[in-house]
Amino acid sequence: MSINITDIEYSAINQPNHFSISFQDKVALYKHYMPFIQNGGLFVRTLEKFSLGDAVALSVQVPDGSDKHNITGRVVWITPESAQRGLPAGIGVQFALDEAAPLRSKIEGYLADMLHSQHPTDTL
């Protein structure tokens, strides 16, 4: 299944709990990045059912044109369908500690001028 949501493309790979996410621009990445999560994390839009602590694998393409980053993590956040404020359904995935540094550094460097913005995100 592939979902194209404005400037983000999600693909569920033929493996359980594995998502491929391509961010087309900085705003899309900003709306999904969770810097307040230890090790960093991403919000993944999905209607699939998950439980807190479930293992998830991500292939992430940031908009700077670099290669995809493959990372594992665990579900630390669940936004159900019909959440308040019209937030999209999905899961927050905390990056695994031993894999987090390169992707987190890449994302935070790319979003340096936006990280402390007051613009709404899909998470809070």
Edge-to-edge strand list for the sheet holding 41-45: 2-5, 8-12, 18-23, 55-61, 69-79, 90-95, 41-45
For residue 101, the domain's CATH number is 2.40.10.220
Which one-letter amino acid corresponds to residue 37? I
In a domain, 62, yes or no: yes
* Predicted pLDDT at 118: 63
In a domain, 118, yes or no: no
Q: What is the pLDDT of residues 22-68, one digit of tens each?
A: 998 888 998 899 988 999 999 999 999 999 999 999 999 998 777 88
In a domain, 76, yes or no: yes
pTM for the full model? 0.80
* Predicted pLDDT at 2: 40
In a domain, 123, yes or no: no
Rounded Cα–Cα distance for residues 87 and 89 (Å):
7
CA distances to 58, 80, 123 from 85, in Å:
27, 12, 11
Tell me the pLDDT of the chain averaged across its residues. Answer: 82
Q: How many domains does the chain have?
A: 1
Q: What is the pLDDT of residues 55-106, one digit of tens each?
A: 999 999 998 777 889 999 999 989 888 777 777 889 999 999 888 899 999 9
Strand-pair category, 55-61 with 2-5? unpaired
Domain span holding position 14: 2-110
**Backbone phi and psi for residue 56, each to the nearest 5 degrees, phi listed first:** -140, 140
In a domain, 26, yes or no: yes
In a domain, 16, yes or no: yes
* Predicted pLDDT at 95: 95
